[in-house]
């Protein structure tokens, strides 16, 4: 062993105490746990999520601090001032280390806010605020887990909010202390147990308002890290609107009241949704019936179309027929009249033509007849020296017998007649 010594342990212990007391005096902030008292001093642990220090304060210093009775209790957030100390013990007494506090006060808003901001900065830098917000939140969860105090207004307000939504599904209550040092671990465990149940679709964590110290459990780093890593969306409603706890930052949704938390856990207004569904149902029915009705009317119209078109065409056709008939009758009459006129003209022409030729012939014939007649006129014969025998009455006497029998005859010459008488018998020509 090349180290210095060996030294007497008692001397070393006093030297250690001396060294400890040289350390800088500082202030510490944390939660008080394990408070106990002896005749001369009070002792407790001061801790937070990362560690703890055993502390002690002389009772006279504690009295000077002016704390009310019981203020130094488990779960209280306090600020202490002092420095490390070492009690070397003695022949019988055990040695011990402690932070010797000479002053103590309850942590104020400012102290807590400073701690909260440091934690907030840390968790944000790790991206823990975003994880829950990326989770899908069902609009209509059927089972909701709720972490809250068994007694208190938060529970009642939450139920009222759910009723206002028209939601009446399954609620699983996970009751936990919501204020003191036991609260944060109990809440974290309740949340994890709820999330482990497959039917739980959303978790609400809620409690009523209070000071930041009262709500401090909801700023617990371990609790907030648990919430951030959860796969079930968490809706937080801790304290009132002005209160901002760390769990609000890591939760999927942060609400100001339990009533709002109920509405965030069930985004769907079930009453309005039922009405909307009725409207959808009606719209679908109308669309279906309308589509068929409109089309059947259209089809009906189309079906009647050809008949109407046929009727229309038939009407046109009949009209045409009537027009044609009328025109035809008119045309026939006109043609008949025209033909009659033409016929008349033709006939007339023909007649005239025919008449013209006949006349000529007749004239010729007449001329011939006249010539012939003239040739046969007795006057012509008489002119050539012949005489015509006529009876008393002027009738021709054409035979010898008649002449012999006649009492008297006349002989007609070209220039006149003379009375004559026949004598003797008839002399026959041989």
Rounded-to-integer distance, Cα 187 and Cα 190, Å: 5
Task: Please report where in the chains the tokens 């001396």 appear, as a residue.
Answer: 18
Task: Please report where in the chains the tokens 């806010």 appear, as a residue.
Answer: 113
CB of 218 to other proteins, least distance (A): 19
CB of 261 to other proteins, least distance (A): 16
CB of 228 to other proteins, least distance (A): 21
Neighbours of 160 (CB within 10 A): 14
Tell me, residue by residue from 239 to 278, as one string, x for binding to other proteins by CB under 8 A and - for no binding. Answer: ---------------------------x-x-x--xx--x-
CB of 166 to other proteins, least distance (A): 7
Neighbours of 34 (CB within 10 A): 14
Alpha carbon separation from 427 to 386, 388, 411 (Å, rounded): 20, 19, 19
Return the structure tokens found at 367.
């001329």
207 vs 410, which CB is nearer to other proteins?
Answer: 207
Is there binding between residue 37 and other proteins (CB under 8 A)?
A: no
Residues 185-224 that bind other proteins (CB under 8 A): 190, 193-194, 197
207, 190 contact by CB (below 8 A): no
Tell me, residue by residue from 144 to 173, as one string, x for binding to other proteins by CB under 8 A and - for no binding. Answer: -x-------------x--x---xxxxxxxx
Is there binding between residue 300 and other proteins (CB under 8 A)?
A: no
CB of 44 to other proteins, least distance (A): 31
Neighbours of 114 (CB within 10 A): 13
43, 74 contact by CB (below 8 A): no
Least Cα distance to 47 among 246, 175, 244, 216 occurs for: 216
21 vs 142, which CB is nearer to other proteins?
Answer: 142
Among 292, 324, 336, 369, binds other proteins (CB under 8 A): 292
282 vs 345, which CB is nearer to other proteins?
Answer: 282
Return the structure tokens found at 167.
């939601």
224, 128 contact by CB (below 8 A): yes
CB of 49 to other proteins, least distance (A): 25
- Residues of the shown chain interacting with other proteins in the complex, contacts defined by CB under 8 A: 138-140, 142, 145, 159, 162, 166-175, 190, 193-194, 197, 266, 268, 270, 273-274, 277, 280-281, 283-285, 287-288, 291-292, 295
């Amino acid at each position: 062993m090349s180290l210095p010594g060996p030294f007497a342990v008692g001397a070393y212990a006093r030297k250690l105490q001396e060294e400890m007391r040289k350390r800088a005096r500082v202030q510490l902030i944390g939660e008080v746990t394990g408070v106990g008292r002896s005749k001369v001093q009070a002792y407790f642990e001061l801790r937070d999520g990362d560690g703890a220090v055993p502390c002690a304060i002389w009772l006279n210093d504690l009295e000077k601090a002016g704390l009310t009775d019981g203020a130094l209790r488990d779960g209280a957030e306090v600020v202490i001032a002092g420095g490390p100390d070492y009690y070397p013990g003695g022949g019988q007494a055990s040695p011990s280390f402690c932070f010797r506090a000479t002053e103590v006060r309850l942590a104020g808003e400012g102290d807590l806010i400073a701690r909260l901001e440091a934690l907030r900065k840390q968790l944000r830098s790790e991206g823990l605020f975003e994880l829950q917000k990326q989770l899908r939140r069902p609009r209509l969860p059927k089972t909701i887990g709720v972490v809250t105090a068994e007694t208190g207004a938060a529970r009642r307000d939450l139920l009222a909010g759910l009723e206002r939504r028209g939601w009446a599904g399954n609620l699983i209550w996970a009751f936990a202390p919501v204020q003191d040092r036991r609260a944060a671990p109990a809440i974290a465990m309740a949340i994890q147990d709820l999330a482990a149940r497959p039917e739980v679709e959303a978790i609400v964590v809620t409690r009523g308002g209070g000071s930041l110290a009262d709500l401090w459990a909801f700023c617990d780093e371990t609790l907030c890290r648990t919430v951030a890593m959860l796969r079930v969306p968490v809706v937080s409603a801790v304290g009132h609107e002005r209160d901002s706890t760390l769990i609000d930052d890591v939760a999927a949704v942060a609400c100001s009241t339990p009533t709002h938390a109920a509405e965030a856990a069930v985004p769907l207004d079930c009453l309005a949704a039922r009405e909307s569904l009725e409207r959808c149902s009606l719209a679908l029915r109308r669309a279906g019936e309308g589509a068929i009705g409109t089309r059947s009317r259209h089809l009906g119209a189309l079906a009647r179309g050809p008949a109407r078109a046929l009727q229309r065409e038939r009407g046109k056709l009949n009209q045409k027929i009537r027009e044609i008939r009328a025109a035809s009758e008119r045309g026939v009459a006109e043609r008949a009249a025209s033909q009659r006129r033409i016929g008349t003209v033709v006939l007339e022409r023909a007649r005239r033509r025919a008449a013209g030729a006949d006349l000529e012939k007749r004239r010729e014939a007449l001329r011939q007849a006249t010539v012939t007649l003239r040739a046969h006129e007795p006057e012509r014969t008489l002119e050539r020296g012949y005489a015509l025998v006529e009876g008393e009455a002027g009738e021709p006497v054409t035979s010898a017998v008649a002449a012999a029998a006649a009492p008297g005859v006349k002989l007609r010459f070209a220039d006149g007649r003379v009375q004559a008488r026949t004598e003797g018998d008839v002399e026959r020509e041989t």
